[in-house]
């Protein structure tokens, strides 16, 4: 069989992995949007393979850089099953609709290619089948799969494939995005046993998480400095799925336990609100702390007295007219699109404002520009000086660092592994991570380029 990495090769976004068996059966793992190749506007519009030839799509999780191009695959003729967990299926419906709206808006402003519409989203949803963790399922006589908890976000899965070919069985594992051990709400990732080949994310492959304090301690400091000691605004850009829920869950604990005075919190992301409802619906997929809190709070993980949900134009007006200290949690996490751009545009020149970036920002994104310390940025068609304080914390990180990744590899029956493909990371991080591995693992590492074929 052949493996080709068609996305997230030597970069973070656009995950897309193709397995072609000798008998012609074709498996696609993930089908995401590439946010990083700014030179090729058609990078997401066209596939390098025929969508009609793909027999099945296995999806690790709902984030758009892994799932966002699936409706386009359907548009171009894919008619197979889309396999994922149940929470992922619920999230996809919301995320894909949001993606269509973003594409339509960008297309009107000549800022992007319209990949698909609501009709393709409907068709894609009809092709989804959901499966549980830790149960082996057969795709056909020669191929079976098992989903393992990956952490990262609710419903995220690592995928273990068993493929019979040429009189023997080969096991291939795709980590998807792994979670950071001990993360808020989310279970820890479970390594897949007995793998011959592992395709692994490497997002933080050359970094150790710097933050030694807890999420509670970080937010107490930032809320105190920005909203209590002065009348400022703490703006937290956060992904609608995962990061927003972790931040709101932590704030709720601080307010209800009396560790912070009741500062008003605006949650300004319709998609994040929908995602929060899905977290409450599928609380059994979350960790023990979250499940216990859910029971004690009569079924609500995120509601608290000073939380204001921004759901309609009236809520938007109330938020914009509010002049006291407040916290704004809004998407998107890398500041590329979404309502966060309104808040950054309105407040980036306010020296009493703090922008707390709580996650990874791909090179070239607005979030990355702010973290580079640029004195001015271009946003919503205007040049703005940066007078607000810009900080970053990795305490809410949804990915393991170099220590967590190395530990994961060593727990994955490393003696049995024949090949480890590094994907979903910056090229430098991949080489640095490889160089830190022990002598038995280093020679097994392959860092594939986009379109390179590898015989397994």
pLDDT digit string, tens, across residues 407-448? 999 888 777 899 999 999 999 999 999 999 988 899 999 999
Burial class (CB in 10 A: 0-12, 13-18, 19+), 429: buried
* 193, 52: one domain: yes
Structure tokens at 220: 């107490």
Helix/strand/coil for 102: helix
Counting residues of the chain whose pLDDT is more than 90, the rounded percentage is 87
Do 257 and 196 fall into the same domain? no
Based on the domain organization, do 91 and 73 belong to the same domain?
yes
Query: Does position 63 have pLDDT exceeding 70, yes or no?
Result: yes
- Chain mean pLDDT for the chain: 95
- Looking at residue 300, its pLDDT comes to 86
What are the residue ranges of helices labelled H in 336-410?
Answer: 340-347, 366-371, 402-410
Average pLDDT over residues 147-155: 98
Of the pLDDT bands very low, low, confident and very high (cuts 50, 70, 90), residue 364 is confident
Instruction: Tell me how many domains the chain contains.
Output: 2
Q: Which domain holds residue 8?
A: 2-207+398-455
Whether 352 and 223 share a structural domain: yes
DSSP state of 416: T
86 with 193, same domain: the answer is yes
258/260 Cα distance (integer angstroms)? 5
**What is the CB neighbour count within 10 angstroms for residue 306?**
16
Q: What is the mean pLDDT of residues 115-140?
A: 98
Tell me the range of 95-104, 130-139, 363-372 where mean pLDDT is highest: 130-139
Any idea what the Cα angle at residue 7 is, between residues 6 and 8, rounded to 5°? Answer: 140
Neighbouring C-alpha atoms within 13 Å toward the C-beta of 66: 27
- The pLDDT value given to residue 38: 65
pLDDT band, very low/low/confident/very high, at 109 (cuts 50, 70, 90): confident
Using DSSP, state whether 109 is helix, strand or coil. Answer: coil
C-alpha neighbours within 13 Å on the C-beta side of residue 160: 20
d(C-alpha 21, C-alpha 24), whole Å:
5
CB 150 within 8 A of CB 172: no
Q: What is the pLDDT of residue 113?
A: 81
Angle at alpha carbon of residue 163, lines to 444 and 198, rounded to 5°:
25
Domain boundary among 392, 426, 441: 392
* E strands in 152-255: 157-165, 168-174, 197-201, 233-237
Buried (b) or exposed (e) across 71-96, using 16+ Cβ within 10 A?
bbbbbbebebebbbbbbbbbbbbbbb
Beta strands in 103-192 (DSSP E): 128-130, 136-138, 143-149, 157-165, 168-174
- Span 43-54, average pLDDT: 96
Q: How confident is the model at residue 13 (pLDDT cuts 50, 70, 90)?
A: very high
Bridge partners (DSSP) listed for residue 357: 392
In contact, 302 and 252? CB cutoff 8 Å: yes
The CATH number linked to 298 is: 3.40.50.10890
Question: Is the same domain home to 269 and 353?
Answer: yes
Of 346, 366, 392, which marks where a domain is finished? 392
CATH number at residue 107: 3.60.15.10
- pLDDT tens by residue, 174-215: 999 999 999 999 999 999 999 999 999 999 999 999 999 999
Do residues 65 and 186 both lie within one domain?
Answer: yes
Mean pLDDT of 277-289: 97
Whether 414 and 307 map to the same domain: the answer is no
Where among 337, 372, 392 does a domain terminate?
Answer: 392
Strands, DSSP E only, in 204-346? 233-237, 264-268, 307-309, 326-330
Mark whether 371 and 419 lie in a shared domain. Answer: no
pLDDT the model gives residue 363: 81
Say what percent of the chain tops pLDDT 70. Answer: 99
Looking at the fold, whether 91 and 27 belong to one and the same domain comes out as yes
User: pLDDT tens for residues 369-405?
Assistant: 999 999 999 999 999 999 999 999 999 999 999 999 9
Question: Is residue 47 located within the same domain as residue 183?
Answer: yes
Tell me if 217 sits within 8 A of 276, measured CB to CB: no
pLDDT-based confidence at residue 39 (cuts at 50, 70, 90): low
Return the closest-CA partner of residue 335 out of 262, 388, 277.
388
Average pLDDT over every residue of 75-97: 98
115: cis peptide before it, omega within 30°? no
If residue 313 lies in a helix (H) or strand (E), which one and from where to where? helix 313-321
Residue among 149, 205, 173, 176 nearest 403 (CA): 205
pLDDT at 107: 80
Residues 237, 202 share a domain: no
- pTM, to two decimals: 0.94
Model pLDDT, residue 361 = 86
Can you spell out the DSSP letters for 378-402?
Answer: EETTEEEE--SEEEE--TT-SS--H
The CB density around residue 104, as the number of other CB atoms within 10 Å, is 13
């Amino acid at each position: 069989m052949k493996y080709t990495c068609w996305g997230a090769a030597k970069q973070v976004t656009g995950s897309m992995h193709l397995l072609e068996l000798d008998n012609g059966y074709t498996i696609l793992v993930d089908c995401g949007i590439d946010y990083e190749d700014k030179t090729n506007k058609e990078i997401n519009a066209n596939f390098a393979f025929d969508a009609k030839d793909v027999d099945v799509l296995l999806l690790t999780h709902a984030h758009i850089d892994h799932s966002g191009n699936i409706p386009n695959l359907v548009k171009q003729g894919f008619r197979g099953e889309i396999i994922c967990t149940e929470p992922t299926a619920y999230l996809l419906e919301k995320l894909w609709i949001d993606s269509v709206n973003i594409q339509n808006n960008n297309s009107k402003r000549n800022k992007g290619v319209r990949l698909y519409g609501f009709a393709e989203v409907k068709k894609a949803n009809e092709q989804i089948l959901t499966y549980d963790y830790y149960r082996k399922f057969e795709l056909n006589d020669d191929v079976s799969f098992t989903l393992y908890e990956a952490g990262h976000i609710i419903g995220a899965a690592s995928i273990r494939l068993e493929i019979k070919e040429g009189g023997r069985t080969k096991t291939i594992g795709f980590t998807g995005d792994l979670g950071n051990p001990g993360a808020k709400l989310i279970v820890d990732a479970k390594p897949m046993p007995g793998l011959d080949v592992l395709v692994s994310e490497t997002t933080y492959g050359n970094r150790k998480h710097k933050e030694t304090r807890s999420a509670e301690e970080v937010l107490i400091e930032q809320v105190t400095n920005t909203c209590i000691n002065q009348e400022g605004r703490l703006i937290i850009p956060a992904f609608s799925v995962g990061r927003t829920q972790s931040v709101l869950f932590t704030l709720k604990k601080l307010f209800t336990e009396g560790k912070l005075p009741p500062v008003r919190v605006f949650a300004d992301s319709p998609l994040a609100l929908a995602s929060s409802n899905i977290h409450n619906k599928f609380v059994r997929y979350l960790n023990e702390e979250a499940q216990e809190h859910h029971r004690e709070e009569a079924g609500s993980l995120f509601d608290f007295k000073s939380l204001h949900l921004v759901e309609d134009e009236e809520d938007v007006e109330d938020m914009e007219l509010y002049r006291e200290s407040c916290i704004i949690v809004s998407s998107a996490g890398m500041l590329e699109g979404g309502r966060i751009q309104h808040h950054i545009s309105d407040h980036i020149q306010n020296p009493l404002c703090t922008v707390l970036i709580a996650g990874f920002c791909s090179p070239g994104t607005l979030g990355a520009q702010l973290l580079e310390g640029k004195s001015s940025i271009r946003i919503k068609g205007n040049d703005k000086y940066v007078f607000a304080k810009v900080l970053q914390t990795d305490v809410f990180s949804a990915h393991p660092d170099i220590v967590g990744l190395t530990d994961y590899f060593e727990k994955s029956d490393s003696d049995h592994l024949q090949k480890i493909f590094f994907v979903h990371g910056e090229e430098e991080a991949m080489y640095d991570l490889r160089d830190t591995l022990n002598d038995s693992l280093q020679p097994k590492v392959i860092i594939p380029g986009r379109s390179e074929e590898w015989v397994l």
